[in-house]
Structure 1
Amino acid sequence: MTQGELAAALGRTSSWLSQVERGVQPVARLDVLRLLADGLGVSVQALQPDSPIAPETPVRDEGALPANDLDQARLVISGHPVPEVLLAEEVTPAPVSLSELRSAVDEIWALTHANQFAELSASIGPLVPRLERAARTAPDDERPALWSLLSRTYQALSAAFVRQDEPDAAWIAADRAINAAERSGEVLHVFAGVFRLAQAFVRLKRVDQAEHAATTAVNALHQHTPAVAAEAEALSVMGSLHLVLALAHARAGSRAEARREIEHARQVARRLGKDRNDYNLEFGPTNVEIQAVSIAVELGDAGEAIDIGQQIDAAGLSIERRARLFLDMGRAYGQRRQTGEALACLLRAEELAPELIHTHVAARSAIRELILIAGRATSPELRALAERADAQP
């Protein structure tokens, strides 16, 4: 295999792989070693002989998930949402209540932030076709508001799909969100949709596409809307785009670029001055530091991640954000082989958002690593967590 072929298979850049081969970029994390080993078709021990040996178990897909609570939501976005509207010669619009629909969309986002995916999927079933039909058949003066609500709904779906490692569905939902936002005339909703799209690309390991989507959006905000860029809502979007760029660079192993984007996000957060939730992005100084913890973990800088995380008070953010902080702190402690602290953080995250720990690929990978590190000394609490998350090695 060429460097380019292997790098593409791993979702990394050729320059990162070259640095690994030359010893410039050390690889100490077990999950990265496993990624390299899988790409090369060898065991982890072939790359690093002193790595923990997993017990003999049937080969399983590292990305496999238990029964997905968003299966119904996937069906909703499959195909055209309201084909009968296209065929009908004359469609009588059903009466709609914008206030009722706004409340329904707000509830969708509340479920998304709480990681309550089964409830979200059940609510999406009737809501999306209703909004799609209304946006096409309502009086002209009501349509922009309906397209805006539809965009918000698809953005929530995209965020949920990303968290349950369904990036292909997240891509579709984000694309529909962008289209609906453009038809609503609310420009910043388009950019919020691009943020969701970039997240899907990162999860798909299409880091070049994530970088392209987010960078073009950031440049447009900087260059073409200088007046808007001073508004709080625009700052929230711009800062969020810098954060997803930081994640994309971290996943590609580009340390300097990832740190540069985190610093850009910090600068935007300072201009914003406080935590906000514009477009359900939860952007602000606190969320930037939560993301900085995540980026440090991705880069293997566990000590830095722990130092930052211990200073964060996330009480004002959603359950999802608080749980994500504990998850990443658990991953950081795991990298340092501090299994007790790592387990405590993961259990705290599970207490806040069980579905995040039970379905998130990073969480399940972290649990497996802790079991491999502990070996025969694995505690009953850790084994029980692994069973609940279907994360046995």
Structure 2
Amino acid sequence: MRDAATPHPYADPLAFGQRMQILRTRRGLSRPVLAGLLGRSPSWVKQVETGVIKTPSLSVILRIAELLRVRDLADLTGDQSMPADLFTGPGHPLLPEVQAAVNAYPVRSDREAPTAAHLRHRLDRAWASRHCSPNHRKVVGGLLPGLIRDAQLAVRQADSSAERRARQAILSEVYSLTQFFVAYQPDAALLWRVAERGMVAAQESEDPRAIGVAAWLTVQAHRDAGHYEAADTVNRDTIRHLEPLLPDGDDRVRAIAGALQFEAGYTAARWGESGTAWGWWEKARAAAQTLPASYYDPVTSFSRAVMSAHAVTVAVELRAGGESVRQAAAADAHTIPSRPRRARHRIEEARGYHLDGQPDVALATLAKAHEAAPETITYNGYARRIVLEETESKSPERRRRASDLAVKLGVLAA
């Protein structure tokens, strides 16, 4: 229930600075932290919030929107005539079918559920298809409705507690795949419903790998919603749960523990805590080194190959442009076998170049991301923000290139 003493950030006639202050407070960011992430002084932030400095330039507004996780630009500016969804991509044509499968409440069925081995085979093929397809949401969206229904049915028809736990682990992973499809689409309630069901199924399974994966995705959902403390709590609690199991754990368990260590660093970087962020990255890198060189986690992408990409992300989230570019130069995107993950890495590189004042390189790198996996960049808020900003560039050639890419991403009409 909203505190009557707290003004609603979208109520008129609040000025830009007032909206910014309310949204900053709700994200739990102090003025010095926001100022540091923006590369400005705390006094500058205060002057904007108090109205001494009026509405900043579009490029600064977009950076503020990114840091405050504002999904619609109009929520920050107050200008409802030009809404821009920054962190929510378009609704995929297959979203209604996936929604129907998730929202259904099946209480009985006259058919026999597929075996756990059959479900495992289908799920493995779905992950493989996701990693090799440029339009992975289309592929996964077509497979999910049947997988969801069959995995739910398999749990209900389990003959023993051990069989039920094993099937719950598979169901949890089906929900994990579903969360990848639903993320950044215009149905936040569905995303949280999927995340929570995945966590419940994982806990029922008592499988450490399933528990870790569900936590990994829950951490991301909290962080993307701006709930950094909740993300950090889930993350650290799950790491503590897995730590005693690591000496005897298999590669899949060690990999999810390493993935969670990186996520802890990612959250710390969002908070602007450089030492903590890089400390967790080092722990994750050490975990990756315990895995075979050829290992690549089908859910988290955690591997030796992805650690250099993770270093770019940490530097970018710390708003360190120069360090981001250095890490990008050291990384090799071609070692990442997954097309959507490779595209995500290209987007992180583009963010680094943009932070470093190299917008032309950033746009060229985003073009590479689009080539690797169009559906990844189309649903990525950071990419959309950079492209939208560069459509206002003073350089005619850069403006043209940005506009062409914006049309491909659906940010601008053709």
Q: Same fold (TM over 0.5)?
A: yes
Q: Which of 39, 56, 61 is 1:44 aligned to? A: 56
Aligned length: 370
Change (3 A) 1:157 1:2: closer
Question: Matched residues in 2 for 1:358 and 1:3: separation?
Answer: 27
| Residue pair 1:111, 1:117 contacting (<8 A) in 2 also | no
Question: Matched residues in 2 for 1:165 and 1:305: separation?
Answer: 30
Alignment of 1:277-356 (within 5 A): 277-278=296-297, 280-316=299-335, 317-356=337-376
Gaps of 5+ in 2: 1-17, 64-72, 74-78
| Residue pair 1:178, 1:194 contacting (<8 A) in 2 also | yes
Change (3 A) 1:160 1:255: farther
Q: What RMSD, in angstroms, separates the aligned Cα atoms of the two structures?
A: 3.5
Where does residue 13 of structure 1 map in the other structure? 29
Deviation at 1:326, TM superposition (A): 1.0
| 2:75 maps to 1:59 | no
1:151 alignment partner AA: S
Change (3 A) 1:19 1:278: closer
Change (3 A) 1:310 1:299: same
Q: Which of 103, 109, 112 is 1:94 aligned to? A: 112
Q: Which of 359, 364, 367 is 2:384 aligned to? A: 364
Question: Matched residues in 1 for 2:274 and 2:102: separation?
Answer: 36
2:149 alignment partner AA: P
Where does residue 68 of structure 1 map in the other structure? 92
Change (3 A) 1:260 1:93: same
Question: Matched residues in 2 for 1:104 and 1:157: separation?
Answer: 14
| Residue pair 2:113, 2:150 contacting (<8 A) in 1 also | no
Change (3 A) 1:78 1:92: closer
Question: Matched residues in 2 for 1:382 and 1:368: separation?
Answer: 7
Question: Matched residues in 1 for 2:308 and 2:237: separation?
Answer: 24
Counterpart of 2:306 in 1: which secondary structure?
Answer: helix
Question: Matched residues in 2 for 1:26 and 1:186: separation?
Answer: 39
| Residue pair 1:306, 1:332 contacting (<8 A) in 2 also | yes
Alignment of 1:101-112 (within 5 A): 101-112=119-130
Q: Which of 169, 172, 180 is 1:148 aligned to? A: 169
Change (3 A) 1:190 1:165: farther
| 2:201 maps to 1:187 | no
Deviation at 1:269, TM superposition (A): 1.8
Deviation at 1:42, TM superposition (A): 5.5
Runs of 4+ in 1 over 6 A off after TM superposition: 1-4, 36-41, 46-49
Q: Which of 46, 60, 78 is 2:103 aligned to? A: 78
Q: Which of 229, 233, 255 is 2:252 aligned to? A: 233
Per-residue CA distance 1:105-139 (angstroms, 9 max, x = gap): 12332344345213322221222112101211143
2:328 alignment partner AA: G
Per-residue CA distance 1:218-272 (angstroms, 9 max, x = gap): 12222x435345x432221111111111222222233332222212212222333
2:29 alignment partner AA: T
Where does residue 265 of structure 1 map in the other structure? 284
Question: Matched residues in 1 for 2:306 and 2:236: separation?
Answer: 20
Where does residue 27 of structure 1 map in the other structure? 38
Deviation at 1:195, TM superposition (A): 0.6
Question: Matched residues in 2 for 1:336 and 1:133: separation?
Answer: 52
Identity within the alignment, %: 21
Question: Matched residues in 2 for 1:205 and 1:250: separation?
Answer: 13
Question: Matched residues in 2 for 1:128 and 1:164: separation?
Answer: 19
Change (3 A) 1:167 1:111: farther
Deviation at 1:292, TM superposition (A): 1.5
Change (3 A) 1:378 1:238: same
Counterpart of 2:226 in 1: which secondary structure?
Answer: coil
| Residue pair 2:258, 2:287 contacting (<8 A) in 1 also | yes
Deviation at 1:357, TM superposition (A): 1.3
Change (3 A) 1:390 1:93: closer
| Residue pair 1:309, 1:325 contacting (<8 A) in 2 also | no
Per-residue CA distance 1:45-77 (angstroms, 9 max, x = gap): 49979x9xx9x9942133343233434323322
Per-residue CA distance 1:83-126 (angstroms, 9 max, x = gap): x23xxxxx656152444322221233234434521332222122
Counterpart of 1:60 in 2: which secondary structure?
Answer: coil
TM-score where L is the length of structure 2:
0.78
Change (3 A) 1:42 1:107: farther
